[in-house]
Structure 1
Amino acid sequence: MTTGDAAKFLAGSPERRRLLTSLSADPATPADLAETLDVSRRSVQRHLKDLVDRGWATKTDGRYESTTTGELVVEEHATYLDALDRIDAFGPFFRHLPDSDHTPELRWLRDATLRTATEQHPQAPVEFYVERVRAFDGDRVRMIAPVLSRLFHRAHADLAFDGVHTDLVLSASTIAAARDLNPTEFDVVTSVDVLTVYEYPDEVGFGLTLGDDRLLMAAYDGDGPLRACIESTDPDCYQWAERLFERYVEQSTTIDSPFSVPFPRRK
């Protein structure tokens, strides 16, 4: 029996999956299984014979139970189906990420919150991002951004007024565009003592914001709009995101401002 054959066998009938799952919980007779699963007795008998032939179940005194192999099949198949469901649910997020190196593992997203742009609510992920950033605790935020958006400025300015320091990674092209648009404003913004700007040499194709215990990750389409945003507090996901941030910082150059300005704090 090949792996492909086993997968086809399970995929070929929902009744087989339900039967094997039931046997992994409790041994049962064919009559019990037919009643519990609302499946004909004939179908149950046929499927049980197949499960026994594959070594996934055994029969003792008229009762069937799953083998260790059968239990492993149930567990791994459930994991596989769960992964497919998660891929589908987070599809609007995954499809706009640059590549697999910038994609968190599926298991880390089990309890993550996702917001996506829709035709009826195109600003949903932006509003979600702003709302969650304002809920950040701590005295430091680390951020990678593909664009400079005034939609985010107010939320991050509120953090700055509270004395929160932001480490911000921007692409060289984004920094050049900001300088060209308003050189004085750029110098003033980069001079405040609650902001450190890093210039990354290549384009940045995603957004990442790290608070003390949670992260926000943003996926943009090719034209710039934010298409999806997730929030996660999973420790493994957070550590992965920290490593990703540090990798970008290591390849970046700190922007030195011509002067230093203390940012006003709230009293």
Structure 2
Amino acid sequence: MKSALAEIEFLALSSNRVAVLEALADGLHTRSELADATGASQPTLGRILRDLEERRWIARADGGYEATATGRMVAEGMTDLLAIVETEAKLRPVMEWLPTESMTFDLGRLRDATITVPSRTRPSAPVKRVNEALGRAEDVQVCSHAFNEGTLETVRERVVDGRQRFDGVLSRAAIDALAEDDSLRAGLRELVAAEGATIRRHPEEIPIAITIADGRVLLLVRDDDGVLQASIDTDDPEVVSWARSVYEEHWEAATPVEADEL
């Protein structure tokens, strides 16, 4: 264990070491190519190459260097570790509110996700991010415990104009909240009556807020008091597959909402 940690430390203490090993794991490179790629000076590069050769992670070949089989293995492992740590750092500010019990995919799939959080100047930034996606999308599925005024208006306008297909499964509480307001009830009724929309009412509270807009998943994250903390969006295939399965599970358990009910 200690020796393995020492080798990890050896690589981690120098971004140039990692860069050189990753470059050579991709194929043969000359010293000048490595210097250009890393920006390392020739003396520094010489020490790095010597250290990597001593560990038998790289070998000389055809006027340059390339990674050995074990070198490629180490490079791949280091790349994976860096990706995991980078993803954790990105998720850390919202980690305590993520519905991880429902998120059955590898959290590493969120590496390239966009995380939008509220700020003093943009307190509604997460919702705005979702509404911007809805304002562009042609095909939308929603599974949520809430449906705010801005989202309703964006969807209603695009569906009525024939620019969007919308299918949503909402909690009973979300639909009741809209129905309590005359203006929102009218908008919801128009949406439900539109040819391009179908809305279902789920009998129980939906513990998650998922939007799938043209194959991109947008997840709204709230704290224990229901205060919006972030939106997370990604088009990673595994996350999209998970979101669709959650949506379909709730859809099957829900019943259609008719315009004359509102």
TM more than 0.5: yes
Give the letter aligned to residue 224 of structure 1: G
Superposition pairs of residues 155-170 of structure 1, within 5 angstroms: 155-163=154-162, 164=164, 166-170=166-170
1:213-253 Cα shifts (integer Å, max 9, x gaps): 33322222333343322443444432222112112224x33
Quote the residue 1:6 is aligned against. Answer: 7
Contact 1:113–1:232 (CA under 8 A) maintained in structure 2: yes
User: Identity percentage over the alignment?
Assistant: 26
Superposition pairs of residues 244-259 of structure 1, within 5 angstroms: 244-250=246-252, 252-254=253-255, 257=258, 259=260
Report the CA distance shift for 1:27/1:197 in structure 2 as closer, same or farther (over 3 A).
closer
Contact 1:97–1:103 (CA under 8 A) maintained in structure 2: no
Report the CA distance shift for 1:249/1:195 in structure 2 as closer, same or farther (over 3 A).
closer
TM-superposed deviation, 1:9: 3.1
Report the CA distance shift for 1:36/1:186 in structure 2 as closer, same or farther (over 3 A).
closer
Report the CA distance shift for 1:15/1:128 in structure 2 as closer, same or farther (over 3 A).
closer
1:20-39 Cα shifts (integer Å, max 9, x gaps): 3454454667xx97x96226
TM-superposed deviation, 1:135: 0.8
Q: Distance in 2 between matches of 1:176 and 1:260?
A: 11
TM-superposed deviation, 1:133: 0.5
Contact 2:169–2:251 (CA under 8 A) maintained in structure 1: yes
1:37-79 Cα shifts (integer Å, max 9, x gaps): 22646x954x555534533134679976431211232233123
Quote the residue 1:240 is aligned against. Answer: 242
Q: Distance in 1 between matches of 2:105 and 2:70?
A: 30
Q: Gaps (5+ residues) in structure 2?
A: none
1:194-225 Cα shifts (integer Å, max 9, x gaps): 34222152442x32112343332222233334
Q: Distance in 1 between matches of 2:258 and 2:107?
A: 41
Contact 1:92–1:116 (CA under 8 A) maintained in structure 2: no
1:219 matches 2:218:
no
The alignment of Structure 1 onto Structure 2 pairs a total of residues equal to 252
Give the 3-state SS of the residue equivalent to 2:97 in structure 1. coil
Quote the residue 1:136 is aligned against. Answer: 137
Report the CA distance shift for 1:237/1:188 in structure 2 as closer, same or farther (over 3 A).
closer
Give the 3-state SS of the residue equivalent to 1:259 in structure 2. helix
Bigger Rg over Cα = 1
Contact 1:19–1:37 (CA under 8 A) maintained in structure 2: no
Contact 2:201–2:257 (CA under 8 A) maintained in structure 1: no
Q: Gaps (5+ residues) in structure 1?
A: 262-267
Give the 3-state SS of the residue equivalent to 2:218 in structure 1. strand
Report the CA distance shift for 1:236/1:165 in structure 2 as closer, same or farther (over 3 A).
same
Give the 3-state SS of the residue equivalent to 1:245 in structure 2. helix
Quote the residue 1:197 is aligned against. Answer: 200
Quote the residue 1:264 is aligned against. Answer: none
Contact 2:83–2:111 (CA under 8 A) maintained in structure 1: no
Quote the residue 2:151 is aligned against. Answer: 152
Contact 1:92–1:227 (CA under 8 A) maintained in structure 2: no
Q: Distance in 1 between matches of 2:118 and 2:80?
A: 28
1:162-200 Cα shifts (integer Å, max 9, x gaps): 355533333344456566x469x8699469333422215
Give the letter aligned to residue 228 of structure 1: A
TM-superposed deviation, 1:145: 1.9
Report the CA distance shift for 1:171/1:40 in structure 2 as closer, same or farther (over 3 A).
same
Q: What root-mean-square deviation, in Å, do the aligned CA atoms of Structure 1 and Structure 2 show?
A: 4.1
Superposition pairs of residues 1-267 of structure 1, within 5 angstroms: 3-21=4-22, 23-24=24-25, 25-26=27-28, 37-38=40-41, 40=43, 44-45=46-47, 48=49, 50-58=51-59, 65-92=66-93, 94-99=95-100, 101-102=102-103, 105=106, 108-109=109-110, 112-138=113-139, 141-163=140-162, 164=164, 166-175=166-175, 181=180, 189=188, 192-193=192-193, 194-204=197-207, 206-250=208-252, 252-254=253-255, 257=258, 259=260
Report the CA distance shift for 1:103/1:95 in structure 2 as closer, same or farther (over 3 A).
farther
